[in-house]
Amino acid sequence: MTCPEKEGWGTAFEMMPRYSIFSLIRNALSYHEGWPRAWRSPEPKSSYDAIIVGGGGHGLATAYYLAKNHGMTNIAVVERGWIGGGNTGRNTTIVRSNYLWDESAALYEHALKLWEGLSQDLNFNVMFSQRGVLNLAHNQHDLRELSRRINANRLNGVDSEFLSPQEIKALVPIMDLRANGRYPVLGASIQRRGGTARHDAVAWGYARAADALGVDIIQQCPVTGFQVEDGQVRAVETAKGTIQARKVGIVTAGHSSVMAGMAGFRLPVQSLPLQALVSEPIKPVLDTVIMSGAVHAYVSQSDKGELVIGAGVDSYIGYGQRGSLPVTEQTLGAICELFPMFRRMRMLRQWGGIVDVCPDASPILSKTPVGGMYINCGWGTGGFKATPGSGWAFAHTVAKDEPHPLNAAFSLDRFRTGYLIDEHGAAAVAH
């Protein structure tokens, strides 16, 4: 697969320091034996300056930036399962920053800039591939929405261009653009700096880098409650005992309202299943990412050759990490209309994750009614792309007890003031 390569980036091989090339050869010949652990597996201490609940990408990034940017190293990430086992390891890895409103553009664009240097920063190849993301327009209304967003993006310094059907055809020859199709394609936006990354590597890279700065990563340790006295958080109850904490950051995606319930406050989020599936691997046929908000379908091709396909959310609330068949059928029907050559392909596996959706399809990064407790949630179907920026801004909020300018607008308070940030259109996968 051809990937547009950034200046100074080079291939994964070129970017490795020389000693890593020898270590790669040694490890290749060692039959995977004697590899050092990438991070420690400590027992929890009796107390920490801060505990981050949830070892997904956002929680691990928060811990990393707390240590790196704010010098807070007496901290722990407490994860009920294994790191990256939630939505971080279940998502379809699309990264872009083409959101409509100024506040969102600033936050997601900050994240995209961090993505551009993340492998170097973490010294871990997160396989960020800027292969471009297309959002398709199928009717006049889509076209108008797209133009509005392209203009807004450009005013905010976010790269965004319009592509005519001819330009789309040149970029994606296998797409059926005939006007008599069920989903005629009248144009698309493209964000060329957008693309994909390796989801597990993001969790592993942040975990390893945070651990190296002294952060304790504690897995297989569900948080079961909080001790709150005089409106201030004092401790976290876990399966491994009570751990004192001056500050607690909750970063538990689909389970955020459960955690808030334990702490005694409510969140305006709903937890919904979002599913995806991959095909058998084939030779490279698609070197960009195609999304259609209107038909609730998107597709990219992984480095292994699998088509990575996703749908909109299932419309019922629940915690089962699977989706329903009608959603898959509808999505595959649309994909096959757009890409007739995929009709003969077999699907290998399907899965779901639980996404936490706010009424305005924007996240919450905020202080809470409990002193010393902070919440990072509500990323819905689109938080993977924000992982570095979210961790960066949330670490500031936890360390300073006040929002970073990037997340000031994403407070819980907006549901009281009514200053919502409606990103349903830019979310691209139906919430």
Report the interface residues with ligand PYC, using CB under 6 A.
Answer: 92, 94, 96, 298, 310, 381-382, 428-429
Q: Work out whether 379 is an interface residue with ligand FAD (CB under 6 A).
A: yes
Q: Which residue is nearest to ligand PYC (CB)?
A: 382
- Beta-carbon contacts of residue 234 (< 8 Å; ≥ 6 apart): 227, 228, 244, 245
Nearer residue to ligand PYC within complex by CB, 96 or 396: 96
Rounded Cα–Cα distance for residues 35 and 221 (Å) = 25
CB of 285 to ligand FAD, least distance (A): 19
Which of 307, 314, 310, 353 is CA-nearest to residue 334? 310
Q: Work out whether 382 is an interface residue with ligand FAD (CB under 6 A).
A: yes
Which does residue 428 touch among ligand FAD, ligand PYC, none (CB within 5 to 8 A, set by kind)?
ligand PYC
Q: How many residues bind ligand FAD (CB under 6 A)?
A: 38
Whether the CB-CB separation of 112 and 164 falls below 8 Å is answered with no
Which one of residues 4, 85, 181, 305 is an interface residue with ligand FAD (CB under 6 A)? 85
In one letter, which amino acid is 328?
Answer: T
For 196, the token pair is 């994909």
Instruction: Tell me whether strands 241-250 and 373-377 are parallel, antiparallel or unpaired.
Output: parallel
Whole-number Cα distances in Å, 192 to 25, 96, 196, 290: 34, 9, 11, 12
Nearer residue to ligand PYC within complex by CB, 55 or 363: 363
For 236, the token pair is 């976290």
CB of 269 to ligand PYC, least distance (A): 17
Nearer residue to ligand FAD within complex by CB, 53 or 150: 53
Q: Which stretch binds ligand FAD (CB under 6 A): 63-71, 76-84, 129-137, 404-412?
A: 76-84
Helix (H) or strand (E) run with residue 29 in it? helix 18-29
Q: Work out whether 94 is an interface residue with ligand FAD (CB under 6 A).
A: yes
Nearer residue to ligand PYC within complex by CB, 163 or 428: 428
Which residues is 250 bridged to in the sheet?
A: 53, 375
Q: Which stretch binds ligand FAD (CB under 6 A): 208-216, 248-256, 263-271, 325-333?
A: 248-256
Whether the CB-CB separation of 101 and 423 falls below 8 Å is answered with yes
Rounded Cα–Cα distance for residues 12 and 57 (Å) = 22
Which one of residues 59, 372, 378, 389 is an interface residue with ligand FAD (CB under 6 A)? 59
Rounded Cα–Cα distance for residues 195 and 373 (Å) = 34
What residues make contact with ligand FAD under the rule CB under 6 A?
Answer: 53-59, 78-81, 85-88, 90-94, 222-223, 251-253, 255, 274-276, 310, 353, 355, 379, 381-385
